[in-house]
């Protein structure tokens, strides 16, 4: 089991550019979550999927953020256009029903 795999590990981009973060959940896990972590706000849920269907996207900060899960083994979080205040660590996590969460190593995003 390779765990939850996120890519890239680090991303530095210029303001206004499109950023795409990727996540591969653990095989057999039916729920996938995108979190953002900042010093000021800690860990915040952005969106989660259950069986590839978005269930709650109330945490997505604004329309510049979008997430997709085209199949059970892949999800993307896209920011377009990116802004400096989007700089944070973005985590993906997955779980089975009645199990705990497993987190990926995160993507550290810096928007300059």
Partner 1 sequence: KQEVTQIPAALSVPEGENLVLNCSFTDSAIYNLQWFRQDPGKGLTSLLLIQSSQREQTSGRLNASLDKSSGRSTLYIAASQPGDSATYLCAVMNYGGSQGNLIFGKGTKLSVKP
Binding site for partner 1 (CB under 8 A): 31, 33, 42-43, 45, 48, 50, 55-56, 91, 93, 97-106, 108
Residue 12 or 101: the one with the smaller Cβ distance to partner 1 is 101
For residue 78, the minimal CB distance to partner 1 (Å) is: 20
Question: Which of these, 77, 72, 61, lies nearest to 94 by C-alpha position?
Answer: 72
Residue 73 or 105: the one with the smaller Cβ distance to partner 1 is 105
Phi, psi dihedral angles at 14 (to 5 degrees) = -90, 150
Question: Which of these, 110, 107, 111, lies nearest to 34 by C-alpha position?
Answer: 107
Please provide the size of the chain in residues.
112
For residue 94, the minimal CB distance to partner 1 (Å) is: 12
Rounded CA-CA distance 57/46 in Å is 6
For residue 18, the minimal CB distance to partner 1 (Å) is: 24
Largest CA distance in the chain: 41
For residue 45, the minimal CB distance to partner 1 (Å) is: 4
């Amino acid at each position: 089991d390779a765990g939850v795999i996120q890519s890239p590990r680090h991303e530095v981009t210029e303001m206004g550019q499109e950023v795409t973060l990727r996540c591969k959940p653990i095989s057999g896990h039916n729920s996938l979550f995108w979190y953002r972590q900042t010093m000021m706000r800690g860990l915040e849920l952005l969106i989660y999927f259950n069986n590839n269907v978005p269930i709650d996207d109330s945490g997505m900060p604004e329309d510049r953020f979008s997430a997709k899960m085209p199949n059970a083994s892949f999800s993307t979080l896209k920011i377009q256009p990116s802004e400096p205040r989007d700089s944070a660590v973005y985590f993906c996590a997955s779980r089975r029903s009645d199990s705990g969460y497993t987190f990926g190593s995160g993507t550290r995003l810096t928007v300059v």
